[in-house]
């Protein structure tokens, strides 16, 4: 019996064709798969992950506010430390401590966290292809022919999908392949220091993160110190438009950190703005690939996972109706539920970055006020700015103190 080439192609395609190919098994890609499969267990999903294991290598501090509980249930073994407060250091290095009794944030082991999320997606029916990189895609006859690299065999292959989700992080190959608009990013660099000195051990015990601002420390962002109690280490990281390693070396020298105590280093890009387009011809971008990151702190996990939930609903409708016009609902819902807050956070970051060291010294000094500290303890939120502003508007007795701090930052 002779089989025509076309029939053969259809046969091959059937075995390797999907409704949706998700590129990237980070927290966003895995959440997208899980949420979509919860809406419709029959959706055929394939997740491509270029590394050998989801979550490895780790390129994240894993500091999540308590709002992580809205998008995931953390497992005990994933929690490295519980954070109850923060020490803010002005350019003059005078501290302002905001300490609470309750847990405000968690330091999470991203390797364990990401891996578990990937396994959850797999257990619901997503096909996981590890060691497999997305190289590019072309639309032929209404489906995408996706070129992938099997890194173990060093072989390129083709799989077929109706839709593609780029959840492949800040350097998104999917975004490049489909010529999505570019976005600005910061270079981030971090070191892990074994806690050997008494000062370090005390820092870990105190359960506070420390944030350092100043043009000479981290001109476009801030420098952070995070206690990792479960590992008895401290992470020191910073983000910057340029020279993050130089800035880190300077901090190491100033703080007299013994370089032999540095056990690991990591780096990566942090998106610094929203991508101006996130849907195009059956392709969606979600998470870091879409720039869905808080510009105030660089955190992208919680908002990225929330946006994955929004994208899942739109993709479900799209696949159900077999019509890519429904991907527009992802944009609409994102514009309603996430974009305004992310834009406000970016405005806040732009304002902070435009302050001089003198202004920042004065602001932090003015904020060191009992009433303000109490207000921040009650209303501060690492992921949003609006709830605190709304609360402040309802408390006229605090306006003058805050106005003083803002005024000092303007002169």
Ligand X SMILES: Cc1cc2nc3c(=O)[nH]c(=O)nc-3n(C[C@H](O)[C@H](O)[C@H](O)COP(=O)(O)OP(=O)(O)OC[C@H]3O[C@@H](n4cnc5c(N)ncnc54)[C@H](O)[C@@H]3O)c2cc1C
Q: Which of 19, 168, 200, 231 binds ligand X (CB under 6 A)?
A: 168
Q: With binding defined as CB under 6 A, does residue 304 bind ligand X?
A: yes
Q: For residue 103, which of 68, 78, 58, 59 has the smallest C-alpha distance?
A: 68
- How far is Cα 163 from Cα 286, in angstroms, rounded to an integer? 13
Choose between 146 and 372: whose C-beta lies nearer to ligand X.
Answer: 146
- Draw the binding track, 189-228, toward ligand X (x: CB under 6 A; -: no contact): -x--------------------------------------
When binding is defined by CB under 6 A, the residue of 63, 137, 159, 319 that contacts ligand X is 63
Asked if 309 interacts with ligand X (CB under 6 A), we say no
Cα–Cα distance for residue pair 408/4, rounded to 1 Å: 77
Q: How far is the CB of 165 from ligand X (least distance, A)?
A: 11
Q: How many helices (H) and strands (E) does the chain have?
A: 13, 18
Chain centre to alpha carbon of residue 199: 30
Q: Which of 21, 22, 23, 193 binds ligand X (CB under 6 A)?
A: 23
Q: Is 117 in the site for ligand X (CB under 6 A)?
A: no
> E-assigned strands of 151-232?
155-166, 185-194, 208-212, 223-228
175 binds ligand X (CB under 6 A): no
Q: Which residue of 18, 33, 64, 306 would you call a contact of ligand X, by CB under 6 A?
A: 64
Half-sphere exposure of 122 (CA within 13 A, CB side): 14
CB nearer ligand X, residue 19 or residue 288: 288
Q: How many chain residues are in contact with ligand X, going by CB under 6 A?
A: 38
Q: By CB under 6 A, tell whether 188 contacts ligand X.
A: yes
Select 105 or 195, whichever has its Cβ closest to ligand X. Answer: 105
The helix/strand/coil state of 148 is: strand
* Position 24 contacts ligand X (CB under 6 A): yes
Compute, in degrees rounded to 10, the torsion defined by CA atoms 16, 17, 20, 22: 20
Q: Rule CB under 6 A: choose which of 29, 227, 244, 291 binds ligand X.
A: 29
Please report whether residue 270 would count as binding ligand X according to CB under 6 A: yes
Mark out the alpha helices in 275-369 (DSSP H runs). Answer: 301-321, 328-337, 339-353, 357-367
User: At residue 296, what are phi and psi to the nearest 5 degrees?
Assistant: -70, -40
Half-sphere exposure of 222 (CA within 13 A, CB side): 24
CB of 78 to ligand X, least distance (A): 13
Binding site for ligand X (CB under 6 A): 23-29, 48-51, 59-64, 133-134, 167-169, 173, 188, 190, 237, 266, 268, 270, 287-289, 293, 298-301, 304
């Amino acid at each position: 019996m002779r089989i025509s080439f076309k029939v053969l192609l259809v046969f091959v395609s059937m075995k390797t064709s999907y409704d949706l190919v998700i590129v990237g098994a980070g927290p966003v890609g895995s959440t997208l798969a899980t949420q979509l499969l919860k809406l419709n267990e029959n959706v055929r999903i394939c997740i491509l992950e270029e590394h050998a294991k989801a979550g490895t290598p780790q390129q994240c501090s894993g500091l999540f506010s308590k709002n992580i509980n809205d998008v995931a249930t953390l497992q005990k073994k994933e929690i490295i430390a519980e954070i109850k407060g923060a020490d803010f250091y002005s350019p003059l290095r005078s501290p302002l401590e905001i300490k609470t009794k309750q847990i405000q944030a968690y330091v999470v082991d991203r390797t364990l966290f990401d891996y578990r999320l990937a396994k959850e997606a797999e257990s619901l029916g997503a096909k996981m292809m590890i060691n497999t990189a997305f190289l590019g895609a072309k639309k032929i006859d209404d489906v995408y022919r996706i070129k992938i690299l099997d890194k173990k065999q060093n072989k390129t292959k083709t799989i077929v999908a109706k839709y593609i989700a780029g959840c492949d992080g800040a350097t998104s190959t999917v975004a490049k392949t489909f010529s999505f608009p570019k976005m600005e990013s910061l270079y981030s660099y971090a070191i892990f220091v074994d806690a050997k000195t008494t000062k370090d051990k005390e820092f870990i015990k105190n359960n506070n993160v420390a944030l350092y601002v100043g043009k000479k420390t981290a001109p476009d962002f801030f420098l952070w110190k995070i206690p990792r109690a479960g590992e008895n280490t401290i992470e020191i990281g910073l983000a910057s438009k340029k020279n993050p390693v130089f800035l880190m070396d300077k901090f190491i020298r100033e703080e007299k950190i013994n370089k032999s105590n540095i056990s690991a280093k990591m780096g990566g890009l942090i998106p610094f703005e929203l991508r101006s387009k996130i849907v195009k011809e059956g392709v969606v971008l979600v998470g870091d690939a879409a720039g869905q990151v808080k510009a105030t702190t660089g955190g992208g996990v919680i908002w990225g996972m929330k946006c994955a939930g929004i994208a899942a609903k739109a993709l479900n409708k799209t696949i159900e109706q077999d019509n890519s016009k429904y991907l527009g609902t992802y944009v609409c819902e994102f514009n309603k539920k996430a974009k305004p807050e992310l834009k406000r956070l970016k405005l806040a970051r732009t304002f902070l970055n435009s302050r001089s060291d003198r202004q920042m010294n004065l602001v932090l000094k003015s904020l060191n006020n009992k009433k303000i500290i109490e207000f921040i303890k009650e209303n501060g939120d690492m992921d949003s700015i609006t709830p605190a502003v709304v609360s402040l508007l309802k408390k006229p007795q605090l306006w003058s103190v805050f106005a003083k701090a803002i005024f000092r930052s303007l002169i």
